[in-house]
Amino acid sequence: MRTILIQLDTDPLASTFDRVVAVDAGVDELFSYGGMTPETVVPLVHGAMFTRAPGELKHTAIFVGGSDVAAGEALFEAVQQAFFGPLRVSVLMDSNGSNTTAAAAVLLAGGHLALAGAEALVLGGTGPVGQRAAELLARQGANVRVGSRFATRAAATCEAIRRELPEARLQPVATAGDAGLNAACRGVQLIIAAGAAGAELLSAERRRAIATLQVAIDLNAVPPAGLAGIEPTDKAREREGAICYGAIGVGGTKMKIHRAAVQSLFEANDRVLETEAVYRIGEVLLGR
Ligand SMILES: NC(=O)c1ccc[n+]([C@@H]2O[C@H](COP(=O)([O-])OP(=O)(O)OC[C@H]3O[C@@H](n4cnc5c(N)ncnc54)[C@H](OP(=O)(O)O)[C@@H]3O)[C@@H](O)[C@H]2O)c1
């Protein structure tokens, strides 16, 4: 039976990026819809549920995407609410690449240092990618500092993660100003920079001064770099004693995880793939 991926995108036009990945993941048919909202999605989900026999539903799956991650989360929830009983299809949420990017960054970091007990700092930790990276690091047992220019936003993100993971070891850190940034960086072994595109979060001088730093990952591909002195193409490149990755260096792993996550949708009709599940797929892919 032919596999069908139904791409539900919250942007007016469905993402070509996600469409290319779907094709490269080997889906037979791709149905793409833009401008999706929780109010308009139910008939499309029912169309996926009621067409094939229950035993054949694993050949149909849903992908939720779009540039607005909060809108994607609401759509993802509405899709799941539309299912009932065994009548469901698998669904993957990866709005703005948030889950696959965070999973790739944390998995790559874990290839160079033991994450359990590691001191980690996520700069730009309040955005969708940063929050997911912080959550995944905490799930691996790291002590995670969640950075924001605003103490209240860092604290709110820590609270949001703790609602999912009460045992998470998290510390909100305010990174505006020299004193705050110095304190946030003191003694860290890992930095993941997940700040907005084109925003420098840490100077090269300050990064080089962190004697404990083992791994530095910058997810921002738009100049200037989030971690100054790290090139977007850096891929496990050693700089001043630390292993460094730039956004393009992470991108290959992110793409592999994205393709594998799409493929895994068709293994059963009840997969619900978001942050942790996508990470687990990446673990298998990288042989962890
Ligand atoms: N490599 C890949 O495959 C890939 C895929 C997806 C995304 N990305 C990149 O990953 C990064 C994170 O994505 P995202 O969607 O989570 O980012 P985002 O929501 O746009 O921004 C993340 C955080 O950056 C901080 N920020 C915003 N403007 C800033 C400024 N001018 N100076 C300093 N900090 C600022 C904000 O935190 P506070 O206001 O709390 O300080 C914000 O919550 C982006 O650079 C994105 O382009 C890469």
Dist. CA 76–CA 72, nearest whole Å = 6
What is the chain's mean pLDDT, rounded? 97
Q: What tens digit of pLDDT does each residue of 179-199 get?
A: 999 999 999 999 999 999 999
Q: Find the mean pLDDT for residues 121-127.
A: 97
Say which DSSP state 83 is in.
-
Question: pLDDT tens-digit profile of 190-236?
Answer: 999 999 999 999 999 999 999 999 999 999 999 999 999 999 999 99
Ligand 1: centre distance to CA 196 (Å): 3
Q: Whose CA is nearest to atom 34 of ligand 1?
A: 195
- As beta bridge partners, residue 11 has none
Contact between 202 and 123 under an 8 Å Cβ cutoff? The reply is yes
Q: Is the pLDDT of residue 288 over 90?
A: no
CA of 202 to the centre of ligand 1 (A): 13
What mean pLDDT comes out for the span 46-54? 95
Q: For 254-280, what is the mean pLDDT?
A: 98
Q: Domains in the chain and their CATH numbers? A: 4-97+255-285 (3.40.50.10280), 101-250 (3.40.50.720)
25-35 average pLDDT score: 98
Residue 112 Cα to ligand 1 midpoint, Å, equals 24
At 138, the pLDDT band (50, 70, 90 cuts) reads very high
pLDDT at 267 over 90: yes
265 pLDDT higher than 90 = yes
Q: In Å, how far from its chain's centre is CA 103?
A: 5
Measured from the CA of 250, which atom of ligand 1 is nearest?
1
- Averaged over 142-149, what is the pLDDT? 98
Residues with a CB atom less than 6 Å from ligand 1: 96-97, 101, 124, 126-130, 148-150, 153, 194-197, 199, 201, 219-221, 247, 250-251, 254
What mean pLDDT do residues 173-182 have?
Answer: 95
pLDDT per position as a tens digit, 77-107:
999 999 998 999 999 999 999 999 999 999 9
Distance, in Å, from the CA atom of 243 to the CA atom of 65, rounded to the nearest integer, reads 31
- Per-residue exposure over 110-134, b if at least 16 CB sit within 10 Å of its own CB, e if not: bebbebeebbbbbbbbbbbbbbbbb
pLDDT reading at 166 higher than 90: yes
